[in-house]
Structure 1
Amino acid sequence: MPLAVSLIAPSSYTAPEAIDAGIRGLEALGAEVRCNEPLQTPRRYLAGSREHRLAQLHAAFDDPETRAVWAVRGGYGAAQLVDGIDWSRLARSNKPLIGYSDVTVLLDHCHRHGVPAIHGPVAKAAAGVLEGEADQREIVRRQFEETLALIQEPTPLDYPLAPYKDAPATLEGPVVGGNLATLASLVGTPLSFRAPPGSLVILEDVGEPYYRLERALWQLVHGGALDRAAAVCLGTFEGCQPYGDTPLEAIVAETLTPLGLPLYTGLPSGHGLHNRPWRYGATGRIAGSRLTIDD
């Protein structure tokens, strides 16, 4: 029996042909894709009014025949929904929300309210299962197969990473975080991100020059978002422009100095080709050059 999933568009507008291509990719992997029509009622750069996007999100979680709710894309707009969500209604469904980038804010608040969440590729990216070079198609296929497996049961997954300088060889804590710019944009608002005690905070971004990344991280550090974290782990920073020869890891490590947080790099999580899924809030264990997320 196919695994049925509900699509939602909680953030920016997506070209219909890109959505159709993503649906074909998910169907090629054996998923059955459902969504309430119309999926989008474009408003400015958004997929619809706040009311439309909220109604769609609630309907997707209410559908008794689907196993997960999958965001079509990120962009901007997810934060507008948080205070209008009936979290007890979502928690009763016990099915995960999947996405990343702008969807980071929803993943974090799902975790706070006992709703499962998976930081992973958005639905439109499934087009890569059928399009592009063969080796790239295989990478995308594996990532979506891992995501589909996580929907069905909490399968342990193992990820490469590299300790930066004197970072501990072993560490354990809940895995949280997501898009750096999105998290920084919440500082000083009622939605502000606060890393749980002992957490491993994963950060990623796309298309930002290094000075903007440093500014966003400075906001998190000095806004108290990372006060209780145990470490920061860097995912991919696709298309982020460097300044001179200074590597991003050095900038991040320097910015983290007031907190004394160890730094790890090289996680295949974020924008770009490599974006493996991980369960938001699950326990992560760092051992040497591997991160295992298993419960």
Structure 2
Amino acid sequence: MSLAVSLIAPSSFTAPEAVAAGIRGLEALGVEARCDATLQAPERYLAGSRAHRLAQLHAAFEDPDTDAVWAVRGGYGAAQLVDGIDWARLARRPKPLIGYSDVTVLLDHCHRHGLPAIHGPVAKAAGGLHDGDAESREIVRGQFEETLALIARPTPLDYPLTAHGPAPAALEGPVVGGNLATLASLVGTPAGFRAPPGALVILEDVGEPYYRLERALWQLVHGGALERAAAVCLGTFEGCTPYGETPLEAIVAETLAPLGLPLFCGLPIGHGLHNRPWRYGAAGRIADGRLAISG
């Protein structure tokens, strides 16, 4: 598949060797990965100053010869960019923004402004095409091939999931969400996440103890972010440490109880090996143990 993408670093600094490995992985899939020589100009733990990262984002969207804008990694810092983005400039050459984790905030705001966005692996993860055992490499390859298909054309995909407790036989609505800690950090700010009516909200996270996950979800619930949602769907929670024997699903169900939202679990989406892509804001349908998302 012949595609060209613009790489950006809107959040944390990434080791140059990890960026290089990701570029090699994309090239192995036939993707031309373009980035400035000054992709990163490290400042503290960030990939660059706010002005540097904003300029890079605008330039990537304005490049007439690329098909998508792909974040190198997440981490921290994307929310700093939201109020400085010239959305009219981005809309002149609409192309999908790809990423997840901290990039969640940018995906959500692209969708709000009518721009395409894909919640999927960051560019550096393409280095996994060359690392690890054969099974892991094939899983990574499949996820990147699905992501490239979503860039090229509307492509329906479906994902396994299971209901935790009572749930309707079928639910339909726009699919939104992303990283739980990132979304919770925006509560009470102008950039705050609010699920659209009937939304199927996907949540995932990494490296957080269960009490922090509960606190973050409490912020979303009581900050009004989920009051119009139709369901919550959990992806993976890689390296998230329990307290005692209470499973995370039970904690989430208890916290969601005031809203009466059905809960689904088991999506292969998140910070672990399994991170299948999905088009942010696309129409979704939950039925028969699957989440189907339209192209």
TM superposition score normalised by structure 1: 0.99
User: Partner amino acid for 1:173?
Assistant: G
Structure 2 matches for 1:188-203, cutoff 5 A? Answer: 188-203=188-203
Equivalent residue of 1:52, what SS? Answer: helix
Q: Which runs of no fewer than 5 residues in structure 2 stay unpaired?
A: none
> Given the alignment of the two structures, is residue 287 of structure 1 paired with residue 287 of structure 2, yes or no?
yes
**Is it true that 1:217 corresponds to 2:223 in the alignment?**
no
Matching residue of 1:137: 137
Match of 2:265 in 1: 265
TM-superposed deviation, 1:280? 0.2
Amino acid at match of 1:85: I
Residue aligned with 2:36, SS: coil
Distance 2:269 2:171 in 1: 19
- For 1:20, the equivalent position in structure 2 comes to 20
Indicate whether 1:90 and 2:63 are aligned. no
SS of match in other structure, 2:32: strand
Alignment of 1:146-185 (within 5 A): 146-185=146-185
**1:288 CA drift (Å):** 1.5
1:256 aligns to what SS in structure 2?
Answer: helix
Once the two structures are TM-superposed, the CA of residue 92 in structure 1 deviates from its matched residue by: 2.0
Tell me the alpha carbon deviations over residues 111-136 of structure 1, each in whole angstroms, 9 at most, x when there is no partner: 00011000000000000011110000
Determine the structure 2 residue equivalent to 1:44: 44
Question: In 2, Cα distance between the equivalents of 1:229 and 1:2?
Answer: 38
Where does residue 66 of structure 1 map in the other structure? 66
One-letter amino acid of the counterpart of residue 284, structure 1 = G
Question: Counterpart of 1:243 in 2: which secondary structure?
Answer: coil
Q: Secondary structure at the match of 1:106?
A: helix
- Residue 112 of structure 1 corresponds to 112
Tell me the equivalent position of 1:206.
206
What is the identity, as a one-letter code, of the residue corresponding to 1:226? L
Distance 1:201 1:288 in 2: 18
Q: What CA distance in whole angstroms lies between the structure 1 residues aligned with 2:88 and 2:154? A: 22
Which residue in the other structure is 1:236 paired with?
236
- Pairwise CA distance, 1:63: 0.3
Give the drift of 1:2.
2.4
State the alpha-carbon separation in 1 of the partners of residues 68 and 169 from structure 2. Answer: 35
* RMSD value, Cα: 0.7
Contact kept, 8 Å, 1:195 with 1:229, in 2: the verdict is yes
Partner AA of 1:51 in structure 2: A
- C-alpha separation in 2, matches of 1:151 and 1:92: 17
Post-superposition offset of 1:37: 2.2
Deviations 1:157-206 (A, max 9, x none): 01000011111221000000000000000001111100000000000000
Structure 1 SS opposite 2:5: strand
**Aligned residue pairs, count:** 295
**Aligned amino acid, residue 129 of structure 1:** L
**Counterpart Cα distance in 1 of 2:91 and 2:110:** 8
Matches of 1:197 and 1:15 in 2, distance apart? 40
Q: What's the TM-score once normalised by structure 2's chain length?
A: 0.99
* Sequence identity (%): 83
Separation in structure 1 between the aligned mates of residue 36 and residue 85 of structure 2, nearest angstrom: 17
Report deviation, 1:88. 1.4
